Amino acid sequence: MNKHTVTFYPDNKKVEVESATTILSAAISAHIHLNSACGGDGVCGRCKVIVKSGTVHSEPSGKVTSEERKRGVYLACQALVESDIEVEIPLESRLDMGSLSKEELESRLRNVYTKAEDISEAKPSLGEGLFTHAPLVVKFCLELPKPNFDDKISDLERVYRAIEEKIGERPIQTGLSNIRHLGELLRASDWKITVAVSQRGPVAEILSIQPGDACGRNYGLAFDIGTTTISGQLVDLDKKEILGTKAAYNRQASFGSDVISRIIYSKAQDGLEKLQNAVVDVINEMAEEFSEEHGIDLNDVTVVNVAGNTTMIHLLLRVDPTYIRQEPYVPTANYFPHFKAAEAGIKINPHGLLFCVSGVASYVGGDITAGVVACGVHESKELSLLIDIGTNGEIALGSREWIISCAASAGPAFEGSGMSCGLRATRGAIQEVRIEPKSLEVKYATLGDDKPRGICGSGYIDLVCELLKHGIMDKSGKLNRDIKNRRLREGKADYEFVVAFEEESGIDGDIVVTDSDLDNLKRAKAAVYSGIAILVRHMGTGLDQIKRIFIAGGFGTSLDIESAVSIGLIPDLPREKYIFVGNSSLAGSRQALLSCQASAICDKVAADITYFELSTDPEYMDEYMAALFFPHTDAKRFPSVKYV
């Protein structure tokens, strides 16, 4: 087989590949991550690249115009390398959060609880208590009596005896490599050591034995593994302090934008391995960065706690996810026993443990459990609602008496996927929109104050709200053909509204929203709203009985609540009932890391939450159909919403 060299610009990275490899595969080999919402099927048109020199073979694609073709534009997933080539990757094809500044990142995560105290502050407002501080791994210093002829129990027994005196439990497991040089370690450290011990149920395990007093160095990592974004925190387990927070794209996006396309991709040759590597690489890079930035030895990180939807956890562990999407939607596990982090390829202390927050059922995973626990829904006397809008829209309704949850297939529209000019909440994404009443001139704000490259979820919600308000779109989601304005026109495929013209944009072309985009958004908001409505109706409770509504999700951090109600995404309830909690999954994951009690509560809550299967509920389709209108076919449900 012939080999060819592919050079990527502006990275200036080279990789050698076999003839007829796709440019997308070559990019993955070069550790360059491209947008690829459809998983490489040539359908989404997100992975455009410009071939500067050399020969590639590609069938014509409707996603590439003849003009683009002339400029050397190809879909990376369809173009087969036939010689040494040079490829340029335009900014909009890049899957990269690294380009965001620290401030921008922080602003994006501004509603994430950033300190343990924030949880404390949040909880009393619900009139409830806090979790005991008892991290999944404790580290303490032991000064052992030296052996003599009257006290000559073995070295390990001496350590066990001291631990039992300290925590009241005899360890029953210890990694062999901790034992191998124990004799020397004890004597060299003059019998003063620091042990890291995990306790889960009846199983206490020694994870590490260090010489001297190493008590101040007890770290853990909490993660939220989202379909689109992975967020992580480095936590000082003793001080309950968040030392750092990071977010990065889930590189699995190269294999498809939603859980369904990834489950399908997992059946491809080495698909499951590739999906696992994509997420584990991100985790390891974050851990590595945390380690460097905070001068922390990764051997002092002995525990990782992860929350994520059912599919994400399966893929992280390389567990076959096939049966999640086959009736009756049974995952391999909702509760996973803990594993060695190394078993999943996570590079912390080699004896370090990996815990996964237990999921509920089907697609409702540990991210919802963690969110429910972080928001205190499970211990609230009054009725609460948690709405987590990511690639799926998950909803939990309940109180300390009962909790019911469901997963609505909102689709990735709110994450900018499958839209003609959609973009994730990344640099250049339009996130706020206002339209001038008469002129229909558009004012927008972009993430990073960059030239606009596309529209992200909160931008679409603002946009839909404004289009409605000014009668540019009717309540069924169709653009008004009667208005004469340069922004309204028949586009290539569809009638469209121009949000930003080419001259002001950061891409080659206008940024538009089409009838078909609006239809996508309508379906997505209908899925979420009807999920909420069905749960409320199913439980025989009124919407007005809900005392508090938590809006969660990476999406939710910049959501305009008024717009969201106006388009009918969320119920028309007093605005003060809404609380933005940001990434509640990450907050819950961190809580469980810091408290065995919280971790055990997560397991219990996950087992107690009732899962409601929308897809087999006869009333759901009716609710959904009724919600396919802005804000709703039944206007009485949105009394406060008045369009001009």
Candidates 65, 120, 284, 322: give the one binding its own copies (CB under 8 A).
322
- 173 belongs to the binding site for its own copies (CB under 8 A): yes
d(CA 265, CA 259): 10
Q: For residue 11, give Cα distances in angstroms to 27, 47, 254, 255, 509.
A: 11, 16, 18, 22, 24
Instruction: Rule CB under 8 A: say whether 164 interacts with its own copies.
Output: no
Nearer to its own copies, 334 or 431 (CB): 334
Q: How far is the CB of 179 from its own copies (least distance, A)?
A: 6
- Let me know if 86 is exposed, middle or buried by CB neighbors in 10 A (0-12, 13-18, 19+): middle
Compute CA 90 distance to the chain's CA centroid, rounded to the nearest angstrom.
25
The burial class, CB within 10 Å (0-12 / 13-18 / 19+), for 108 is buried
Contact between 325 and its own copies per CB under 8 A: no
For the sheet containing 393-398, what is the strand order? 578-582, 548-552, 384-389, 393-398, 403-408, 610-611
- The pair of structure tokens assigned to 156 is 């390990």
436 near 472, Cβ under 8 Å?
A: no
Both tokens of residue 426? 């990344």
Residue 124, number of CB atoms within 10 A of its CB: 11
Q: Which of 551, 229, 625, 273 is nearest to 417 (CA)?
A: 229
* CB of 345 vs its own copies, minimal distance in Å: 11
Q: Which span sits near its own copies by CB under 8 A: 11-19, 148-156, 212-220, 296-304?
A: 148-156
Asked if 152 interacts with its own copies (CB under 8 A), we say yes
CB closer to its own copies, 322 vs 541: 322
User: What span, in angstroms and rounded, lies between the C-alpha atoms of 273 and 269?
Assistant: 9
The CB-of-193 to its own copies minimum distance in angstroms stands at 14
Q: Is residue 189 a contact residue for its own copies (CB under 8 A)?
A: no
Interaction of residue 344 with its own copies, rule CB under 8 A: yes
Residues facing residue 403 across a β-bridge:
398
Pick 352 or 459: Cβ nearer its own copies: 352
Q: Is 200 a binder of its own copies (CB under 8 A)?
A: yes
> Considering only 121-129, 330-338, 404-412, 529-537, which stretch makes contact with its own copies by CB under 8 A?
330-338
184 in contact with its own copies (CB under 8 A) = yes
Indicate which single residue of 124, 212, 216, 328 sits in contact with its own copies (rule: CB under 8 A).
328
Q: Per CB under 8 A, does 172 bind its own copies?
A: yes
- Closer residue to its own copies in complex, CB, 331/477: 331
Return the residues of window 66-105 that contact its own copies according to CB under 8 A.
none
Residue 333: other Cβ atoms inside 10 A: 15
Position 643 contacts its own copies (CB under 8 A): no
CB 124 within 8 A of CB 596: no
* Contact between 336 and its own copies per CB under 8 A: yes
Q: 318 or 525, CB closer to its own copies?
A: 318
Cα atoms in the 13 Å half-sphere on the side-chain side of 44: 29
The contact mask relative to its own copies for 595-614 (x = CB under 8 A, - = no) is ----------------x-x-
Burial (CB count within 10 angstroms: exposed 0-12, middle 13-18, buried 19+), residue 37 = buried
Q: Using the rule CB under 8 A, is 144 a contact of its own copies?
A: no
Under rule CB under 8 A, residue 147 binds its own copies: yes
Q: Which residues make Cβ contacts (< 8 Å) with residue 121, sequence separation at least 6?
A: none
Subset of residues 300 to 319 that bind its own copies, contact rule: CB under 8 A:
317-319
Q: Is position 154 an interface residue for its own copies (rule: CB under 8 A)?
A: yes
Q: Which two tokens stand for residue 507?
A: 């891409």
Binding range to its own copies, per CB under 8 A, among 17-25, 76-84, 199-207, 531-539: 199-207
Shorter beta-carbon distance to its own copies: residue 152 or 642: 152
Residues near its own copies (CB under 8 A): 147-149, 152-157, 171-176, 179-184, 187, 200-203, 317-320, 322-323, 327-337, 339, 343-344, 361-362, 611, 613, 616
